[in-house]
Structure formats: structure tokens, C-alpha cells
């Protein structure tokens, strides 16, 4: 369908670039907004602009934030001697939701992926090492994803941090709640057995 | 009778790419169908029945259903997860290198059962305490052979003359060894000592058990690595990305 109205065509094109939005969904969204009150469109436009204008990276942990340092790094109540290393900013909210962790974070912004040519230089790994130099950190928790890239990243970081004499821990791996034992793979089961606890 | 709607195959998982919210497209290498791409639905969910069974560097038994575009993985059971390989940074890097080579050189739906066996055997060898350099060189030379790129190491590629015990040359563009006289026409060719040529021939012609018995000095091993990887780079017309990672780990 050819859209003769230029602003509408531009909006459809913009929506179409979003992940998971095809041409039909883009059209539906654009026509939906066309029929909504002006204020609703303004709120949406403002939110998108603010996202790009106000959000940056925390200079300490590299989490996304609208103030620098981020609220977690500024929080005096938190334990700054523990750093939990995650791959992406989106990994922090689930860890926070557990309410079990009161330390601070470090976001790597990716994982080592040799076949895609992503090495540690592309990540915030050097910044993590410089954070550990002053001796105030006693534990580094490697919370990279339990897949091949995440494992490679964790093993590489372990190799780099080990000479500093800091305690390095890795998130436990095992069976997720609600899983089926018969579908578990060898590696998960082996690690679940190794990490078993007295009940 | 039409083709059955589902089929079972052994597979080595080469690569995963995200598809939408929770699905993944797997690139797998199978003995019967060569390289295939298939969708594993719901893999990213914690309670997925696939979980680690579809991680790269895993040998699995898979059930696939024919799809309109891509086939769909309906079941996957790990035969060997190569746990020793996955718990060592260097061996895992070697594994990544093998997977990238296979992915870069093969096309979809072109079966090559010896290549599957070679890849599987090599992953098992990496799990053992064998020298990873010899394991990789043996794989590279036999991999090139199964793909039809076997380098000519027994006579000069240009003049067919047998080799004299002097420094000869390896030419990637000619696909083999040149005698000193013919090498003048190929300025890009690399010098290859008598010992280096003997080792290359041994790796190419003998089985793995014989190959691993021969100790190779570090300097010679490095020369041979550059010759073979230079040839691979020439054939592919680009770098293999995981080589940089191997080099980085070796250096650190």
C-alpha cells in the first residue's frame, strides 16, 4: 500500500525499524496513534527524546543511568566491597528483584565471542580491572550468562583477576525451579550435583 | 510416498542466533545432511526442555520436523557435551576455531560424512590431554582434504619435479609446494624447511595415532601454523575471527 501522506509514511517507516515490528504492525501502530488524543502522542515523543537525551552510562559501573554515578553506586548503604559482574544492563533488575544482593555491579556490555570477533577489548573488562586495583574490593561475583560466551568471559576474567588475590565467585548453576530432570543437559546436571547442599 | 514429516539425526551444534523473544536459530552439522539451520523454540526460557542440549560444541541426537522455511527441532538429547573442553579456556577457544572453520567453509544441505566424523573425533581429542597444536593442524589438513582443497605436498605444483632436500616454498595461490626454481614466479610463496615439509606430509598422509607420536619443536610448529592458516585465509579470502582469540590467549 502506498501511503501518500508524508508524516504518516515517516512514522510507519520508523516503527518498521524496531525489532519484531513488521510493515503491517508498523501501519497499525501509526494509525492507532493518529486516532489518539494529541497529549498521548506528545507523551510518547517526549519519552523517546528523554531516553536519548538524559540516559547515559554510569562512569563507575557502566549501567545505564540518568545521573552519574548511578543510584546504586551512590548508595552508601550498599556493600561496595562486593562487585557483581553482568553482561548487560538488563541483567541487573532481575538480580535486584531477588532482594538478596546488597553489593554493587559492573556491566561489561557484552560477552567474549571469538567467532564474532568480539574480544575483551570490546567489553568494559579493562575498566573492571582498574576498579579492583585500590584493594577495597574483597569479592567479585561473575554473573555472566551460563552459555559458551558467558563461560569464556568468566574464565577470562578469572584469569585476569586471580593475580590480584581477590575472592572470585560464580553464580551457582543447576536446575531451574519448575524444570524437568529428564530434560536437563549433562553440564547442568553435573553442576547441579557438584553444587548440591545439605537439605 | 512423500518425504517423512520428521526425521532424526546426530548433530554437532555449530552456532546459535537469537530469533525473536525466546527462540534460537541453530546451525548444526549432521552426517546425513551436512550443515543445516533449524529453529529451536523457547530455548531462551529457563524452563526450556532444550537448555544446554542445544548449546554450541555439543554432540546431540536430534528430532527435527520439516518446516516451510527452516526445520524445527522437536527433541534434542546430548550424546556428549564435551565438558572437559568447556571447562578450559584454551580448549574452548580451540573448539570455537573448529566450529568457525566448519561454518565458514561448508554450504547448507551438502552432506560430507567423513567431515562430520573428523569434527567429532577432533572435539574428543581436544578433551584429552593431547597437544592442541597437533590436534588443530591435523584437523585443518584433513578438513581441507575432505573439502577438495588438499594442498599438493609431493611434487612441485608448477613443474611436477620431485623435491630435493633443500628449502622449498609453499604457495597458497597455487595450492601446494613449489621448487626453488618455480618459486621465483610466485613472490608470495613462503619458504618451507625440509623438516617442515616432512612434518606437513606426515600430518597429511598418516592417521592421527601416528601423527601424535611425533614431537614437533615449538619454532617449527609455529612455522607450520602460519603456512596452513595462511592457506586457509587465502581460500576464504578473509581472516578466521577466532584465530585472534587463540593468539590473544597464547600471548597472555
| A180 with B248: Cβ contact below 8 A | no
B123 and B206 share a domain? yes
Cα angle B11-B14-B17, degrees, rounded to a multiple of 5: 115
The reply to whether B232 falls in a domain is yes
Q: What is the mean pLDDT of residues A49-70?
A: 90
Residues B37 and B40: their CA atoms lie apart, in Å, by: 10
Does position A195 have pLDDT exceeding 70, yes or no? Answer: yes
Whole-number Å distance between alpha carbons of B156 and B189: 13
Residue B238 lies in a domain: yes
- Both B74 and B195 in one domain: the answer is no
Q: Which residues contact B28 (CB under 8 A, 6 or more apart)?
A: B11, B12, B13, B14, B35, B36, B37, B38, B62
Residue range A116-130, pLDDT digits in tens: 889 899 999 999 999
State residue B39's pLDDT score: 93
Please, what's the largest Cα pairwise distance for chain B?
65
Q: Residues B103, B217: one domain?
A: yes
- Class of CATH domain A78-170: alpha beta
Is B148 in the same domain as B67? no
Q: Which residues of A touch B57 (CB under 8 A)?
A: 148
Task: Tell whether B1 is covered by a domain.
Answer: no
Into how many domains does chain B fold? 2
With contact defined as beta carbons under 8 Å apart, do B190 and B159 qualify? no
Distance from CA of B14 to the nearest CA of A (A): 10
Residues B170 and B59 in one domain: no
Q: Determine the residue among B50, B245, B246 to mutate to test chain A binding: the one whose Cβ has the most chain A Cβ atoms within 10 Å.
A: B245
- For residue A117, the chain B residues in CB contact (below 8 A) are 241, 244
The mean-pLDDT minimum among A13-22, A76-85, B129-138 falls in B129-138
The answer as to whether B240 is a domain residue is yes
Facing B52 at nearest CB: one of A112, A180, A187: A187
Per-residue confidence (pLDDT) for residue B2, from 0 to 100: 64
Q: Are residues B118 and B181 in the same domain?
A: yes
Nearest CA to CA, how far is B68 from chain A (Å)?
19
Residues from chain A contacting residue B80 (CB–CB below 8 Å)? 186
**pLDDT attached to residue A2:** 66
Q: Are residues B16 and B103 in the same domain?
A: no
Based on the domain organization, do B111 and B162 belong to the same domain? Answer: yes
Last residue of a domain, one of B14, B48, B81: B81
Same-domain pairing of B68 and B160: no
Partners of B40 in the β-ladder:
B24
Interchain contact, A184 vs B51, CB within 8 Å: yes
Same domain for B32 and B128, yes or no, is no
Q: Which residues of A touch B47 (CB under 8 A)?
A: 176, 178-179
CATH number for the domain that contains residue B212: 1.20.1440.120
CB < 8 Å to A187, chain B = 52, 55, 81, 83, 86
Where is the domain boundary, B81, B112, B129? B81
Structure confidence at residue A172 (pLDDT): 85
Give the one of B15, B47, B86 whose C-beta lies nearest to A179's C-beta.
Answer: B47
To the nearest whole Å, the CA of A1 is away from the closest chain B CA by: 26
Which residues of A lie closer than 8 Å to B, measured between beta carbons? 20, 112, 114-117, 119-120, 147-148, 151-152, 155-156, 159, 176, 178-180, 183-188, 190
Residue numbers of the domain that contains B45? 6-81
Bridge-based pairing of strands A79-86 and A103-107 is: parallel
pTM metric for this prediction: 0.86
Mean pLDDT by 10 residues, chain B (252 residues): 82 90 91 93 81 88 91 90 90 94 92 94 88 89 94 88 85 89 86 89 89 85 90 92 90 72
Minimal Cα–Cα distance from B30 to chain A, Å?
20
* Contact assignment for A115 to B78 by CB distance below 8 Å: no
CA of A139 vs chain B CAs: smallest distance (Å): 22
| Domain ranges for chain A | 6-54, 78-170
Dist. CA B151–CA B172, nearest whole Å? 9
Contact B61, B50 (CB under 8 A): no
Is B174 in the same domain as B118?
A: yes
pLDDT confidence of residue A1: 60
Distance from CA of A198 to the nearest CA of B (A): 24
Q: What is the pLDDT of residues A138-185, one digit of tens each?
A: 999 999 998 899 999 999 999 999 999 899 999 888 877 777 788 777
Residue for grid cell 543437559:
A185
Q: Which of B50, B81, B112 marks a domain boundary?
A: B81
Note whether B97 and B198 are same-domain residues: yes
Q: Report the CATH number of the A6-54 domain.
A: 1.10.8.420
Q: Which residues contact B235 (CB under 8 A, 6 or more apart)?
A: B105, B144, B149, B172
A185 with B252: Cβ contact below 8 A: no
Task: Tell me which residues of chain B, numbers 95 to 124, contact chain A at a CB-CB cutoff of 8 Å.
Answer: 96-97, 99-100, 103
- Kindly state the average pLDDT of the residues A79-91: 94
Amino acid at each position: 500500500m502506498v501511503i501518500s501522506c508524508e508524516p504518516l509514511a515517516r512514522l510507519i517507516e520508523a516503527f518498521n525499524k524496531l525489532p519484531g515490528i513488521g510493515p503491517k504492525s508498523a501501519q497499525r501502530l501509526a494509525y492507532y496513534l493518529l486516532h489518539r488524543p494529541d497529549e498521548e502522542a506528545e507523551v510518547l515523543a517526549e519519552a523517546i527524546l528523554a531516553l536519548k537525551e538524559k540516559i547515559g552510562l554510569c562512569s563507575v559501573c557502566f549501567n545505564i543511568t540518568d545521573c552519574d554515578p548511578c543510584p546504586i553506586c551512590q548508595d552508601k548503604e550498599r556493600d561496595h566491597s562486593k562487585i557483581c559482574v553482568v553482561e548487560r544492563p538488563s541483567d541487573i533488575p532481575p538480580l535486584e528483584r531477588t532482594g538478596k544482593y546488597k553489593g554493587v555491579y559492573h556491566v561489561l556490555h557484552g560477552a567474549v565471542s571469538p567467532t564474532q570477533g568480539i574480544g575483551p577489548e570490546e567489553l568494559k573488562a579493562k575498566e573492571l580491572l582498574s576498579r579492583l586495583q585500590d584493594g577495597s574490593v574483597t569479592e567479585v561475583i561473575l554473573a555472566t550468562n551460563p552459555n559458551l560466551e558467558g563461560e569464556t568471559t568468566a574464565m577470562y576474567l578469572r584469569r585476569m583477576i586471580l593475580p590480584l588475590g581477590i575472592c572470585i565467585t560464580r553464580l551457582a548453576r543447576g536446575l531451574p525451579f519448575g524444570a524437568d530432570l529428564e530434560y536437563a543437559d549433562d553440564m547442568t546436571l553435573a553442576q547441579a550435583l557438584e553444587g548440591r547442599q545439605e537439605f | 510416498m512423500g518425504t517423512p514429516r520428521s526425521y532424526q539425526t546426530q548433530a554437532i551444534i555449530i552456532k546459535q542466533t537469537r530469533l525473536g523473544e525466546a527462540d534460537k536459530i541453530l546451525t548444526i552439522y549432521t552426517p546425513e545432511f551436512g550443515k543445516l539451520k533449524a529453529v529451536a523454540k523457547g530455548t531462551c526460557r529457563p524452563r526450556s526442555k532444550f537448555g544446554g542440549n542445544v548449546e554450541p560444541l555439543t554432540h546431540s541426537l536430534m528430532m527435527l520436523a520439516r518446516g516451510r522455511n527452516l526445520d524445527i527441532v522437536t527433541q534434542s538429547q546430548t550424546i556428549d557435551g564435551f565438558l572437559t573442553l568447556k571447562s578450559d579456556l584454551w580448549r574452548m577457544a580451540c573448539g570455537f576455531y573448529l566450529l568457525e572453520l566448519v561454518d565458514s567453509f561448508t554450504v547448507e544441505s551438502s552432506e560430507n560424512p567423513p567431515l562430520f566424523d573428523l569434527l567429532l573425533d577432533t572435539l574428543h581429542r581436544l578433551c584429552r590431554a593431547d597437544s592442541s597444536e597437533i590436534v588443530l593442524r591435523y584437523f585443518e589438513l584433513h578438513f581441507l582434504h575432505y573439502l577438495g582443497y588438499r594442498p599438493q605436498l609431493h611434487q612441485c605444483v608448477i613443474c611436477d619435479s620431485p623435491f630435493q632436500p633443500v628449502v622449498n616454498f609453499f604457495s597458497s595461490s597455487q595450492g601446494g609446494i613449489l621448487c626453488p626454481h618455480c618459486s621465483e614466479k610466485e613472490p608470495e610463496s613462503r619458504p618451507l624447511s625440509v623438516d617442515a615439509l616432512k612434518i606437513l606430509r606426515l600430518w597429511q598422509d598418516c592417521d592421527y595415532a601416528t601423527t601424535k607420536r611425533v614431537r614437533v619443536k615449538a619454532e617449527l610448529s609455529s612455522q607450520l601454523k602460519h603456512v596452513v592458516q595462511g592457506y586457509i585465509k587465502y581460500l576464504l579470502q578473509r581472516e578466521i575471527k577466532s584465530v585472534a582469540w587463540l593468539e590473544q590467549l597464547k600471548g597472555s
